[in-house]
Amino acid sequence: MTVVHYLNQFFAGLGGEEAADHETVRFDGPHGPGKALTAAGLPIDVTVACGDDRFALHEADCLVTLLAWIEEAGADVVVCGPSFGSGRYGYACGVLARELGRRGTPVVAAMTPDSPGVLASEGAAYIVPTTGNVAGMRDAVPVVASLASRLASGAVVGSPDEEGYLPRGLRANVRSEQLGAERALDLLLAKLNGELRTEIAPPTDRVAPPDPLGDPAAARVALVTEAGCVPQGNPDRLPTRHTNIWLRYPIGDRAELGPEDYLSVHAGFDTTEANRDPDRLVPLDAARALAEAGRIGRVHDEFFTTTGVDTPVAVSTRMGQEIGAELRNAGVDAVILTGT
């Protein structure tokens, strides 16, 4: 079993902030926290390290060197950290883990759950959650050592719940002694008791809020909807449910979306009231009023539509990215999205 350990300049004993530009280095045997891992039953064969700023500023070059050394060592598992609450070191651990994951090398890391390294790792690493500072070393080391030893030997590792690492965004098929109905009832009863549990956690894809509009009065604002609003007759045959397409329609100088010209073909709600006035779904008349009042610059001259019924999140994500690219190319500054 060959174990490689990744450290930053501080934990490798190369110096503090003044050594943050330290180039990538390689040592035989354990350094710093690697000694504690070795004592906990995970003998470190090779230690590689890099300064925090060096990695942040020269990521691609540092990765080439580190990955080459790790491959040369023939690592069965790589341990990154613990990086605790360190942003730069945590990020470097996450990026290295992601790249190793793509190459099929198991990685165990340890950091705070809100470290940028968690997202950067893209689920490639088994990340043991830690406290924000090195006071958590004593708790983290045995968990990291145990996970890493088993991964190196190809043993099966349990679920995040069983093992204590952060969910990696994967789903595993398991056999259950209980029927789905029984399990659902257990979860419902637990929920009624104030305990929220789930067998399938919702996706954790998180996008930071884009910067706010500086000057709404100068903004081009687009209307987008998942309410299935289309021209009468649904000329492009937007599916009423389970769609994987979106459509765009010009609104030119229309003052509103009148019921004689538009309707909703959405199969997920009662469209009776909306079809008496489609502005109840795509608020063009009100958007025109705001433009006339100078509250916004102008309404973008087409609206985008799809039906959000039985649509997998992955399909929605793709459609959102496609519509977003169109809006960006068209110089749209902001979006008003309506959902039913």
Partner 1 sequence: MGIPTVFITALPTIAQMVGANRIVRGVAITHPTGDPSLAAGDELALRVRILDRAVEMLAADVAPRTVWEIDA
Residues that bind partner 1 in the complex, under the rule CB under 8 A: 202-203, 205-214, 216, 219, 221, 224, 227, 269-274, 276-277, 279-283, 285-287, 289-290, 295-296, 313, 316, 324, 327-328, 332-340
Cβ proximity to partner 1, 277 vs 302, nearer residue: 277
The whole-angstrom separation of Cα 31 and Cα 51 is 15
Q: How far is the CB of 154 from partner 1 (least distance, A)?
A: 36
Nearer to partner 1, 64 or 337 (CB): 337
Residue type (1 letter), 155: A
Minimum CB distance to partner 1 smaller for 131 or for 316: 316
Structure tokens at 251: 């609104």
β-strand pairing of 25-28 with 46-50: antiparallel
> Nearer to partner 1 by C-beta: 120 or 227?
227
State the nearest-atom distance from the C-beta of 326 to partner 1, in Å: 11
**Nearest distance, CB of residue 167 and partner 1, angstroms:** 15
Cβ at position 151, least distance to partner 1 in Å? 30
- The 3 state secondary structure assigned to 25-63 is EEEECCCCHHHHHHHCCCCCCEEEEECHHHHHHCHHHHH
Q: Which residues pair with 224 in a beta bridge?
A: 304, 337
**Minimal distance, residue 270 CB to partner 1, in Å:** 6
> Alpha-carbon distance 52 to 30, whole Å?
19
State how far the Cα of 109 lies from the Cα of 36, in Å rounded to an integer.
15
The two three-digit tokens of residue 124, written as one number: 């490639």
Min. distance of Cβ 212 from partner 1 in angstroms?
A: 5
Nearer to partner 1 by C-beta: 151 or 274? 274
Which residue lies nearer to partner 1 by CB, 70 or 274?
Answer: 274
Q: How many CB atoms lie within 10 A of CB 46?
A: 22
By C-alpha distance, which of 28, 124, 116 is closest to 77? 124
Which one, 44 or 323, has the nearer CB to partner 1? 323
Cβ of residue 136: shortest distance to partner 1, in angstroms?
Answer: 26
Closest CB 24 distance from partner 1, rounded Å: 30
In the complex with partner 1, which residue's Cβ is closer, 68 or 218?
218
Gyration radius of the chain's alpha carbons? 27
Peptide bond into 82 cis (omega under 30): yes
- In this complex, which beta carbon is closest to partner 1, that of residue 45 or of residue 333? 333
- Residues 45/4, Cβ–Cβ less than 8 Å: yes
DSSP 280-332: GTS-HHHHHHHHHTTSSSEE-SEEEE-B-SS--HHHHHHHHHHHHHHHHHTT-
Minimum distance of partner 1 from residue 280's CB (angstroms): 3
